[in-house]
Structure 1
Amino acid sequence: MENSWGLRIVPLTEEHCKEICSWTYPVPYHIYNWPSWEKMVADQEEFADETLREQQYRAVVDADGEMVGFAQYFPMTGVTRLGLGMRPDLCGQGLGVEFVRTIAAEAKQKAPSNEIDLEVLVWNIRAFRVYQKAGFVHTDTYERMTPTGMETFHCMVWKRLMDKGRS
């Protein structure tokens, strides 16, 4: 997929993982901070598990090969659920729509018959708006358990890759 930022999806390396674990998001987004890499490895949590990392996780890099974020492609029956994170210093700078579209397009290419969806915490209006502009529509709202307790989420489904300049 062509994009103006030159974004590409590449395998997530251990070096990428260490970098992600060093990211620090400000309040209230701090809930997206990962534990230290050492703790992740000790617990074999998420992308510290090499098999899980190879199967589900990818890095998103710019034209210079610098990591701008990551994606998780969580396979479900007939659905690819996305998880994603953008480098904290890039958040809020108008780069999110292209970032999300790149990740969603890769998911569609990997599993063309699957529906593509994601979950977003209801209070995260900034992310919700980015997902809408990237072509996702709100389909459901529900509560589910998180590491910090029950939280309310919106489920959003990718309907199409919208043309640039359209919202």
Structure 2
Amino acid sequence: MKLDHVAMNRKIAVEILKWEYDSPYDFYNNKLTQETLAEMMDGSYFVITNDLSELIGFFCTGKSAQVPSGKKFKVYEEPLFDMGLGMNPQLVGRGNGYEFCSYIVKVIEEYYHSHSIRLTVAKFNQRAIYLYKKLGFIQVNEFSANFTDFITMVKKPSFYKGLSDTRDNDKA
């Protein structure tokens, strides 16, 4: 499947805000409000489609990708590139995650190649955490907010990969 991305538009933002995930992932359901719509239209959100122009998901960057209460735990003090994402609930759990997330990481690395990427994920979402580890993210912080535990994970830019692989081999 060939993926592409464009800036978020109002019509798709409204559609995404109406997505409903099955439990326990319903934690990620949003409400369509003027505030949530305004955030999705602030320039930090991007739509991901396939070669048939079907809506696959979205990603966001910067403060939109952070859990606001994480600031009081100082998990966002290091100046890293934050990314958030959401996949169309009709595609979740069907083996699409690796290609979807790989595409987002590739886009971010191409445009912001000198930065490490940080993401925040609910600790219960072991399926996503497994995928992020497979993509090279490592856990760096943990915090609780609104009865939910979160972790932050970081991926160094691809050009560091060879260095870490060499160090790992030296330990063997």
Scaled by the length of structure 1, the TM-score of the pair is 0.78
**Equivalent AA in structure 2 for residue 139 of structure 1:** V
Aligned to 1:153: 150
Identify the structure with the greater strand proportion.
1
Cα deviation, residue 16, structure 1: 0.8
The one-character-per-residue Cα deviations of 1:72-94 (angstroms, maximum 9, x if unpaired) are: 11167631111110010100111
CA distance in 2, matches of 1:68, 1:12: 13
Could you say which residue in structure 1 is the equivalent of 2:38? 49
Matched letter for residue 65 of structure 1? S
* Alpha-carbon distance between aligned partners in 2 of 1:127 and 1:106, rounded to the nearest angstrom: 19
Of residues 11, 17, 25, the one that matches 2:21 is: 25
Distance, in Å, in 2 between the alignment partners of 1:67 and 1:160 is 28
Deviation at 1:54, TM superposition (A): 4.3
Distance 2:115 2:43 in 1: 16
Residue 160 of structure 1 deviates from its aligned partner by: 5.5
Provide runs of 4+ in structure 1 moved above 4 Å: none
1:104 Cα deviation from its structure 2 partner: 1.5
Assess if the C-alpha contact under 8 Å between 2:137 and 2:154 holds in 1. yes
Displacement of 1:139? 2.1
Q: Is residue 2:131 matched to residue 1:130? A: yes
CA contact (8 A) 1:104 1:158 kept: no
Task: Please list every run of 5 or more consecutive structure 1 residues that lacks an aligned counterpart in the other structure.
Answer: 163-167
Correspondence for 2:169: none
Cα displacement string for residues 56-114 of structure 1 (whole angstroms, at most 9, x for unaligned residues): 10011111111110101116763111111001010011110111111112222232222
Residue type of the alignment partner of 2:104 = I
In structure 2, distance between residues paired with 1:65 and 1:18: 17
In structure 2, distance between residues paired with 1:134 and 1:97: 8
- Give the aligned partner of residue 89 of structure 2: 88
**Do residues 119 (structure 1) and 120 (structure 2) align?**
yes
Asked which structure has the greater CA Rg, the reply is 2
Letter in 2 for 1:21: L
- 2:17–2:29 Cα contact (<8 Å) kept: yes
Report the alpha carbon displacement of residue 141 of structure 1 after superposing the two structures with TM. Answer: 2.1
Whether 1:63 and 2:63 are equivalent positions in the alignment is no
Unaligned runs of 5+ in 2: 64-75, 162-172
Instruction: Give the Cα–Cα distance (whole angstroms) in 2 for the partners of residues 54 and 142 of structure 1.
Output: 27
Identical positions, percent: 29
1:8 is aligned, of 4, 9, 16, to 4
Contact 2:97 2:131 in 1 (8 A): yes
Q: The residue matched to 2:15 in structure 1 has which SS?
A: helix
